């Protein structure tokens, strides 16, 4: 299991527990649980900010290794501490999608919709974007929370390939 999927599962588990507490009928317990989660988030966020501050004078290799680690990078994004801008984080996440070549067409700040153009990497040139949206959403989940929706356009089909085979016997 990758660190990112583990982080996503942990986040979903926390949300499920908070939802159960909210549905339990004890508003004081639900409120206390939410306050506890906020306090822990603040605590860990302050620790991460301190780590980044301490690394700021260090050689770039240590910082690059931290940013290259999926778990650390997703925590930095969660706490709004990631030093890379949104577009850089989106590009980094999409580079990890191996079954598709995804090109950013645009981002709508108001709706949070990222528009991509997809081409299959199998070399057929067909441009079918099958599964590209799901692959992009999974890659972007931890690294670009600003992206609330992904719209994938399929690339225009390239020139039609002409299959040339041997002429049937006697056709000359």
Tens of pLDDT along 99-134?
778 889 999 999 999 999 887 555 554 444 557 888
Which percentage of the chain shows pLDDT scores above 70? 77
Residue 170, pLDDT > 70, answer no
Strands lying side by side in the sheet with 149-154: 100-108, 113-120, 149-154
Task: Give the mean pLDDT of 4-19.
Answer: 79
pTM: 0.61
Residue with the larger pLDDT of the pair 129 and 38: 38
Contact criterion met (CB below 8 Å) for 167 and 157: no
What's the rounded mean pLDDT across residues 72-88?
87
Q: How far is CA 78 from CA 7, 8, 56, 86, 152, in A?
A: 11, 11, 20, 13, 25
- The pLDDT confidence band at residue 35, using thresholds 50, 70 and 90, is very high
pLDDT reading at 34 higher than 70: yes
pLDDT averaged over the chain? 79
Q: Please, which residues bridge with residue 34 across strands? A: none
Q: Which residues is 116 bridged to in the sheet?
A: 104, 152
pLDDT tens sequence across 128-166 = 455 788 888 888 887 888 898 999 888 665 565 666 767
Higher pLDDT, 26 or 126: 26
What is residue 3's predicted lDDT score, i.e. its pLDDT? 53
Residue range 20-41: mean pLDDT, rounded: 89
What is the mean pLDDT of the segment spanning 75-97?
87
């Amino acid at each position: 299991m990758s660190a990112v999927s583990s982080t996503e599962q942990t986040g979903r588990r926390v949300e499920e527990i908070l939802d159960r507490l909210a549905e339990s009928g004890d508003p004081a317990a639900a409120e206390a649980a939410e306050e506890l989660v906020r306090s822990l988030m603040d605590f860990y966020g302050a620790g991460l900010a301190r780590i980044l501050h301490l690394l700021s004078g260090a050689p770039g290799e240590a910082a690059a290794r931290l940013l290259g680690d999926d778990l650390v990078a997703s925590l930095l994004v969660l706490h709004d501490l990631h030093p890379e801008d949104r577009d850089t984080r989106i590009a980094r996440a999409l580079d990890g999608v191996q079954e598709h070549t995804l090109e950013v067409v645009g981002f709508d700040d108001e709706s949070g919709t990222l528009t991509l153009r997809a081409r299959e990497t199998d070399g057929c040139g067909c441009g079918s974007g099958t599964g590209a949206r799901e692959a992009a959403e999974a890659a972007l989940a931890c690294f670009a929370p600003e992206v609330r929706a992904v719209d994938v356009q399929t690339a225009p089909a390239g020139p039609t390939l002409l299959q040339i085979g041997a002429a049937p016997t006697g056709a000359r």
